[in-house]
Amino acid sequence: MRFATTTETLGRHHRALLAIVGLVGLAAALAFDPAATAAASRQNWPPFVLVAGLLLVGLVSERDGLFLAAGQWLAARARSGLLLYVGSVALIWIVTALLNLDTAVAFLTPVLIHMGRSRSADQDALLYACILLANAGSLMLPGSNLTNLIVIGHAHLSGSTFLVRMAPAGAVAVIITATIVWLVSPRDPQPARPGQEHDSRSFSVALAAVLAATALILALPDPALPVAGVGVLATILRLRPSAATARAASEAVGLPVLIGLFGIAVGLGTVGRAWTGPSQLLTQLGPWTTAGFAAGASVLLNNLPAASLLSARAVPHPYSLLVGLNLGPNLFVTGSLAWVLWWRAARGAGGSPSIRRATQLGLLCAPVSLLAAMALLTLSGYR
């Protein structure tokens, strides 16, 4: 089974347009304030390099069949629809935390759709849980979401420190989101059929790459280049050096998309450095209002541009800002790029995603999970 990669889910014209917009924004920022543009570039390039490395690791994992094997293992062993759902929640959470939310929705959405069909399980819950849990679960590690890396760029935190501070908030957001999706999703009247586990395969390259990338993220304050090196090496070992490998890697990384997003991020970061309005506003907001403001900004601007604009200067409550930027996108599809990737991946796998249904679920999940995450942040003292 062959699944869509990140950039295969976006049309060529849209990718080219995004790259052009990003390059124009970058050029305009450079002409407007070269010093601020240089500072914004220094803040933004490590996140993009790190995510590129994680996407390459995701490509190797998909080509090795690691994601498909995990889905088949769950389908074969879960004795009920509830157990299958709980296992799927864990799978989405792990892949999001270790390999980025965009990797999770692009590669796991087709797996979950086919797994639900093979078991006659509750496909509605599995389909919408993938995108809502990817957004909610992206609070766990720096590389789980580009917004994390952009906002904490000033602090140079190691992944282990970030995990300690954000794991409770991320965990409660995932648990609440998963519970609400399960409770309000329609049940399949037919009992779930057991699936068939396929022959085991060797995932040595994929597993080694995932473990190495995770260890680097946890141990190093600036793991971007080492993780990118792991992704490149794993791609070479798994796919062999060739023109086809280069094309596959380019598709997985989504070079035009990353170029466009990088240009937009740097452009807004330059605006945030030249214009003190966003910074002054954040200094007047408390932790809870910062989270709420960030959630609204993610829907209006998309969470990545919002992160670049709002964190251009030192942020009084960076973790509260991240809660809003990461959970806010569950309010509506404009909140994150992951929504577009999920929609196209679901359609490509023969699913029938509904924006109306996803929005209904998101409006139930996002406010409750945001409040619970902020409550735990407040108790922990990291806000």
**Contact indicator for 58, 345 with CB cutoff of 8 Å:** no
Tokens of 331: 């309010």
CB atoms within 10 A of CB 246: 12
Q: How far is CA 325 from CA 83, 197, 290, 342, in A?
A: 30, 39, 10, 18
Residue 93 included in any domain: yes
Q: How far is CA 67 from CA 71, 220, 263, in A?
A: 6, 27, 32
State residue 147's pLDDT score.
93
Residue 1 included in any domain: no
Rounded to whole angstroms, how far apart are CA atoms 137 and 135?
A: 6
- Residue found by looking up tokens 């619970």 in the block: 372
Rounded to whole angstroms, how far apart are CA atoms 32 and 267?
A: 10
Residue 29 included in any domain: yes
Rounded to whole angstroms, how far apart are CA atoms 57 and 55?
A: 5
Residue 242 included in any domain: yes
Rounded to whole angstroms, how far apart are CA atoms 8 and 251?
A: 7
Residue 117 included in any domain: yes
**Contact indicator for 30, 37 with CB cutoff of 8 Å:** yes
**Torsion of Cα atoms, 143 then 149 then 153 then 158, to 10°:** -20
Q: How many domains does the chain have?
A: 1
Rounded to whole angstroms, how far apart are CA atoms 290 and 295?
A: 9
Rounded to whole angstroms, how far apart are CA atoms 75 and 78?
A: 6
Full residue range of the structural domain in which residue 347 is found: 7-380
State residue 5's pLDDT score.
46
The alpha helices in the chain, defined as continuous H runs, are 12-32, 34-63, 66-77, 81-99, 101-119, 123-137, 146-151, 159-184, 204-219, 224-239, 243-253, 255-274, 277-283, 287-301, 303-310, 318-327, 337-348, 355-380
Residue type, position 301, single letter: L
Residue 2 included in any domain: no
State residue 298's pLDDT score.
94
Burial class (CB in 10 A: 0-12, 13-18, 19+), 241: exposed
- For the segment 219-273, what is each residue's pLDDT rounded down to a tens digit? 888 888 999 999 999 988 888 777 666 777 777 777 788 888 889 889 989 998 9
Rounded to whole angstroms, how far apart are CA atoms 270 and 132?
A: 31
Look at residues 260, 274, 259 and name the one whose alpha carbon lies nearest to residue 29.
Answer: 274
Residue 49 included in any domain: yes
Residue 30 included in any domain: yes
State residue 191's pLDDT score.
52
State residue 8's pLDDT score.
45
State residue 289's pLDDT score.
96
Low-confidence ranges of the chain (pLDDT < 70): 1-12, 119-122, 187-202, 243-245
State residue 363's pLDDT score.
96
Look at residues 84, 54, 52 and name the one whose alpha carbon lies nearest to residue 70.
Answer: 84
State residue 243's pLDDT score.
67
